[in-house]
């Protein structure tokens, strides 16, 4: 079984601090890490490989420095890392990104299952997984919390819904996006880290994946950021003091007035 | 900016070519032709005796392209579960109506399901002009495969300008599938809309966990698609007896790829997190699983949903669907009461869009107080019972 895990390099959310004066995220000096949700995707792929045999390829798109997250994936136990990196890929929105990843997966060939994290911690769109499946014209299931059964031909999973869960079966190949509940990601071992250091990360550009130039990067992105601004925050920041009963009474008085 | 020529008016007099300071113009058979050296200086526009040369801005160019396309109408996906419209659908109708009115276009809904015709009239009474209704037994419950195929077919056939989908779990799975199939833009989790001078939808969404707002446009593709965060817009008032048009649609040939084996509604503590007006959430500061029950008691007293920090979920005090924050759910209720939650950034990004935030924590320096509307420094196990007594005594 060949499993592809799509991962993304993002600014470390645990290092992000909010500037109390401006209410803005402080991004300077923040390390770049593997999107936290993608660790669950990597772990699930490795568990499937351990149970079923086969190989796991980690795929990412980003600047050359994003090769680092592929090395980290190899340290966890992934077999190969492929980085999509070229000037032409820059500025991609989720439509262009999912097309680009899909082209790379076509080139990888004989892929049975594609696993993504539920969303990226920086963009929070959760759009690339379903978009990737649409590009490949294969099934997708979002918010998977459990793989109940898998063969080379089909997959049974539990999908988290707003009110509970659904048990769904699809034929493979398919794309799933996984939630945190699915597993506990492993830490890389020493041997893995040694291997990762020496591993060769393949870097592909538009030619390698036979990409249509009009569908990648900024050109292939229908959405444009028109402007960004700081949110207005109307927090009073009123501290309620006194005995617990007085505090509770003061609070309820204010809440009732809302 | 771009230079255009009305060739019907052009007399091929050649004045523009003589006047051009850059020698960029040569005369073709039907009018002037511009080479790459053109700087868009506009001298030719001024000099043309027949007023055949003009400049168009970005907005006008888009409008011209728009005229040639037939897209029309603001659509809302009317997600229903077990024959009931989801709350976010009504919220979208209010916002959709505003946009449709400004554009002078109708507000329409797409309604998929089985034996749900009664919802057509309900939608119309909430302000919808047209309901595209697709009924079939296999559409009874939401499923990605068939719903996406039906929506792609309908959008292709009727070509709406704008298509809004509620940001529920299903909506956020469906929308990217459909948008990719249609090769159009999609903006996730929007919290505000407006129109620019060319009539493009300006779609505003929180970025970087709500610390920055980004406004996104999709100027050259139709429909402009967006998923919309629940609980941001008010639902409109119902107007009983209002009339509208129901269009029963014929289904395209469907290609199922998912087999739904079971749909299970899990016993949850109070209302669904994503749709609740009030969320009461507990963190590690509560100290133990037993004390977490205080949070559930308070949630019950105020009719709210139960939320939790990651630490509490990892400790097994409450199940994962209750987790609020980066690796859990993002919520934006009217009122969020954080009990014993210190407010790590990963938690704050999941709740700081709440309208009113109450923080109860024993540590006066806890970051949660930086986003709180009202803060109480104290022991949660004393404050919550006092608060419940207060609520019950009035």
Q: State pLDDT tens for residues B329-341.
A: 888 899 999 999 9
A160 at interface of B, judged by CB pairs closer than 8 A? yes
pLDDT (mean) for B196-220: 87
pTM: 0.83
pLDDT (mean) for B268-294: 88
Rounded to a whole number of angstroms, the distance between the first and last alpha carbons of chain B is 65
3 state SS of B278: strand
The DSSP code sequence of B25-90 is: EEE-SSSEEE-TT-----HHHHH-TT--EEEE-HHHHHHHHHHHS----EEEE--EETTEE-HHHH
φ/ψ region of B36 (left if φ > 0, alpha if ψ in -120 to 50, else beta) reads alpha
CATH number, domain of B46, equals 3.30.70.20
- A115 near A82, Cβ under 8 Å? no
Task: Please indicate, yes or no, if residue B262 is contained in any of the structural domains.
Answer: no
A157 at interface of B, judged by CB pairs closer than 8 A? no
pLDDT at B71: 80
Q: Which residue of A has its CA nearest to B190?
A: A125
Query: What are the residue boundaries of the structural domains of chain A, listed by start?
Result: 2-228
3 state SS of A117: strand
Residue B112 has pLDDT above 90, yes or no: yes
Task: Provide the mean pLDDT of chain A.
Answer: 92
- Between chain A and chain B, the number of residue pairs with CB atoms below 8 A apart is 252
Are the Cβ atoms of A127 and B186 closer than 8 angstroms? yes
Same domain (yes/no): B44, B76: no
In angstroms, rounded to a whole number, what is the distance separating the alpha carbons of residues A181 and A158?
11
Domain A2-228: which topology?
Answer: Rossmann fold (3.40.50)
Same domain (yes/no): B98, B168: yes
Mutate to test the interface with A, among B82, B147, B169 (most CBs of A within 10 A): B169
Same domain (yes/no): B118, B227: yes
3 state SS of B137: helix
Same domain (yes/no): B81, B157: yes
Are the Cβ atoms of B188 and A18 closer than 8 angstroms? no
Residue B279 has pLDDT above 50, yes or no: yes
Residue A196 has pLDDT above 80, yes or no: yes
pLDDT at B232: 83
Same domain (yes/no): B215, B236: yes
Give A 231-250 residues with CB within 8 A of chain B: 231, 233, 235-241, 244-245, 247-249
Give A 184-213 residues with CB within 8 A of chain B: none
Same domain (yes/no): B351, B292: yes
Residue A5 has pLDDT above 70, yes or no: yes
B359 at interface of A, judged by CB pairs closer than 8 A? no
Find the helix packing angle between A94-108 and A128-136, rounded to 10°: 50
Residue B323 has pLDDT above 70, yes or no: yes
Residue B260: its chain A contacts at CB < 8 A?
A: 166-168
Residue B201 has pLDDT above 70, yes or no: yes
pLDDT (mean) for B149-171: 95
Please name which of A242, A250, A239 lies closest in space to residue B374, comparing C-alpha atoms.
Answer: A239
Q: How confident is the model at residue B269 (pLDDT cuts 50, 70, 90)?
A: low
Residue B210: its chain A contacts at CB < 8 A?
A: 231
Task: Please indicate, yes or no, if residue B184 is contained in any of the structural domains.
Answer: yes
Q: What's the number of domains chain B is made of?
A: 3
In angstroms, rounded to a whole number, what is the distance separating the alpha carbons of residues A85 and B208?
24
Give B 167-206 residues with CB within 8 A of chain A: 168-170, 172-177, 179-181, 183-189, 196, 202, 206
**Min Cα–Cα distance to chain B from A232, Å:** 10
Alpha helices in chain B (DSSP H): 15-19, 43-47, 58-68, 87-103, 117-125, 144-158, 169-182, 289-302, 310-314, 345-351, 380-392
Task: Please indicate, yes or no, if residue B165 is contained in any of the structural domains.
Answer: yes
In the beta sheet, which residues pair with residue A166? A159, B263
**Min Cα–Cα distance to chain B from A138, Å:** 8
| ipTM of predicted complex | 0.92
In angstroms, rounded to a whole number, what is the distance separating the alpha carbons of residues B6 and B32?
10
Share of chain B above pLDDT 70, in %: 94
User: Which range among A27-41, A199-213, B331-345 has the greatest average pLDDT?
Assistant: A199-213
pLDDT at B195: 96
When mean pLDDT is compared across A33-37, A57-61, A227-231, B300-304, the lowest value belongs to A227-231
In angstroms, rounded to a whole number, what is the distance separating the alpha carbons of residues B194 and B180?
24
**Min Cα–Cα distance to chain B from A209, Å:** 19
Same domain (yes/no): B240, B373: no
B315 at interface of A, judged by CB pairs closer than 8 A? no
pLDDT at B35: 87
Are the Cβ atoms of B261 and A167 closer than 8 angstroms? yes
Burial of B295 (0-12, 13-18, 19+ CB in 10 A): buried
Alpha helices in chain A (DSSP H): 36-52, 67-76, 94-108, 128-136, 190-198, 244-256
Give B 64-83 residues with CB within 8 A of chain A: 81
In the beta sheet, which residues pair with residue B278? B335
Q: Which residue of B has its CA nearest to A246?
A: B386
Share of chain A above pLDDT 90, in %: 82
Residue B62 has pLDDT above 60, yes or no: no
pLDDT (mean) for A170-191: 96
Give B 211-230 residues with CB within 8 A of chain A: 211-221
Same domain (yes/no): B28, B171: no
Same domain (yes/no): B42, B92: no
Find the helix packing angle between B169-182 and B144-158, rounded to 10°: 50
A84-137 pLDDT, tens digit each: 999 999 999 999 999 999 999 999 989 999 999 999 988 889 999 999 999 999
Give A 22-51 residues with CB within 8 A of chain B: 23-25, 36-37
When mean pLDDT is compared across A38-47, B264-273, B298-307, the lowest value belongs to B264-273
In angstroms, rounded to a whole number, what is the distance separating the alpha carbons of residues A117 and A27?
23
Residue B58 has pLDDT above 60, yes or no: no
Residue B261 has pLDDT above 50, yes or no: yes
Q: How confident is the model at residue B28 (pLDDT cuts 50, 70, 90)?
A: confident
Q: How confident is the model at residue B161 (pLDDT cuts 50, 70, 90)?
A: very high
pLDDT at A20: 53
- B12 near B27, Cβ under 8 Å? yes
In angstroms, rounded to a whole number, what is the distance separating the alpha carbons of residues B3 and B52?
11
Structural domain range at position B312: 273-392
pLDDT at A128: 98
Residue B68 has pLDDT above 50, yes or no: no
Q: Which residue of A has its CA nearest to B328?
A: A180
Question: Is the preceding omega at residue B262 within 30 degrees of 0, hence cis?
Answer: no
pLDDT at B98: 95
Q: How confident is the model at residue A30 (pLDDT cuts 50, 70, 90)?
A: confident
Q: How confident is the model at residue B59 (pLDDT cuts 50, 70, 90)?
A: low
The alpha carbon of residue A77 and the mean position of all alpha carbons in its chain are separated, in whole angstroms, by 18
Q: What angle do CA B14, B16, B19 make, to 5 degrees?
A: 115
Please name which of B220, B65, B205, B152 lies closest in space to residue A220, comparing C-alpha atoms.
Answer: B220
Same domain (yes/no): B180, B77: yes
Same domain (yes/no): B76, B52: no
Find the helix packing angle between B169-182 and A128-136, rounded to 10°: 40
Task: Please indicate, yes or no, if residue B40 is contained in any of the structural domains.
Answer: yes
Task: Please indicate, yes or no, if residue B156 is contained in any of the structural domains.
Answer: yes
Are the Cβ atoms of B375 and A239 closer than 8 angstroms? yes
Are the Cβ atoms of B383 and A125 closer than 8 angstroms? no
Same domain (yes/no): B311, B388: yes
């Amino acid at each position: 079984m060949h499993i592809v895990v799509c991962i993304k390099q993002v600014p470390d959310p645990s290092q992000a601090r909010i500037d109390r004066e401006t209410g803005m995220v402080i991004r300077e000096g923040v390390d770049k890490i593997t999107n936290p949700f993608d660790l669950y995707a990597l772990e699930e792929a490795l568990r499937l490989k351990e149970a079923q045999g086969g190989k796991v390829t980690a795929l990412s798109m980003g600047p050359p420095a994003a090769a680092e997250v592929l090395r980290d994936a190899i340290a966890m136990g992934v077999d190969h890392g492929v980085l999509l990196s070229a000037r032409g890929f820059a500025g991609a929105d989720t439509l262009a990104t999912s097309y680009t990843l899909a082209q790379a997966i076509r080139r990888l060939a004989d892929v049975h299952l594609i696993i993504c994290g539920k969303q990226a911690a920086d963009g929070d769109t959760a759009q690339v997984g379903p978009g990737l499946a649409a590009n490949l014209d294969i099934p997708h299931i979002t918010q998977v919390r459990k793989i109940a059964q898998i063969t080379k031909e089909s997959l049974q999973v539990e999908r988290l819904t707003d009110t509970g869960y659904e048990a769904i079966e699809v034929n493979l190949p398919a794309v799933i996006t996984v939630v945190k509940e699915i597993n506990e990601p492993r830490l890389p071992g020493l041997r893995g880290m040694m291997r990762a250091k020496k591993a060769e990360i393949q870097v592909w550009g538009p030619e390698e994946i036979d990409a249509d130039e009009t569908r990648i990067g900024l050109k292939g992105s229908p959405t444009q950021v028109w402007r960004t601004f700081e949110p207005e925050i109307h927090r009073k920041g009123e501290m309620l003091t006194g005995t617990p009963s007085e505090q509770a009474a003061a609070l309820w008085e204010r809440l009732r007035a809302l | 900016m771009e230079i255009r020529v009305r060739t019907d008016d052009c007399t091929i007099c050649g004045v523009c070519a003589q006047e051009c300071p850059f020698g960029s113009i040569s005369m073709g058979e039907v009018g002037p032709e511009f080479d790459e050296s053109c700087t868009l200086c506009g001298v030719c526009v001024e000099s043309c005796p027949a007023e055949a040369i003009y400049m168009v801005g970005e907005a006008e160019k888009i409008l011209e392209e728009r005229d040639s396309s037939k897209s029309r109408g603001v659509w809302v996906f009317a997600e229903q579960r077990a024959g009931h419209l989801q709350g976010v659908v009504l919220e979208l109708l209010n916002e959709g109506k505003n946009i449709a009115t400004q554009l002078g276009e109708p507000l329409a809904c797409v309604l998929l399901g089985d034996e749900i015709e009664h919802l057509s009239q309900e939608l119309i009474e909430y302000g919808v002009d047209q309901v595209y209704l697709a009924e079939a037994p296999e559409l009874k419950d939401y499923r990605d495969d068939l719903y996406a195929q039906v929506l792609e077919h309908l959008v292709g056939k009727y070509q709406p300008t704008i298509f809004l989908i509620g940001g529920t779990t299903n909506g956020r799975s469906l929308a990217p599938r459909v948008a990719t199939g249609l090769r159009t833009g999609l903006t996730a989790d929007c919290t505000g809309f407006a129109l620019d001078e060319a009539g493009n939808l300006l779609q505003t969404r929180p970025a970087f966990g709500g610390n920055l707002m980004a406004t996104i446009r999709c100027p050259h593709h139709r429909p402009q698609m967006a998923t919309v965060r629940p609980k941001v817009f008010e639902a409109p008032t119902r107007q009983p007896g209002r009339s509208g048009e129901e269009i029963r649609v014929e289904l395209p040939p469907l290609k199922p790829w998912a087999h739904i084996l079971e749909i299970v509604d899990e016993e949850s503590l109070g209302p669904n997190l994503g749709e609740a007006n009030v969320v009461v959430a507990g963190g590690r500061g509560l100290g133990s699983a037993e004390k977490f029950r205080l949070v559930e008691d308070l949630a019950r007293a105020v009719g709210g949903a139960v939320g939790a920090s990651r630490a509490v979920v990892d400790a097994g005090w409450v199940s994962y669907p209750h987790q609020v924050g980066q690796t859990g759910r993002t919520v934006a209720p009217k009122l969020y009461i954080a009990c014993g939650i210190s407010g790590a950034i990963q938690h704050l990004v999941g709740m700081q869009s709440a309208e009113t935030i109450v923080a109860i924590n024993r540590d006066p320096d806890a970051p949660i107080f930086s986003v709180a509307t009202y803060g109480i420094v104290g022991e949660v196990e004393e404050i919550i019972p006092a608060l419940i007594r207060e609520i019950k005594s009035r």
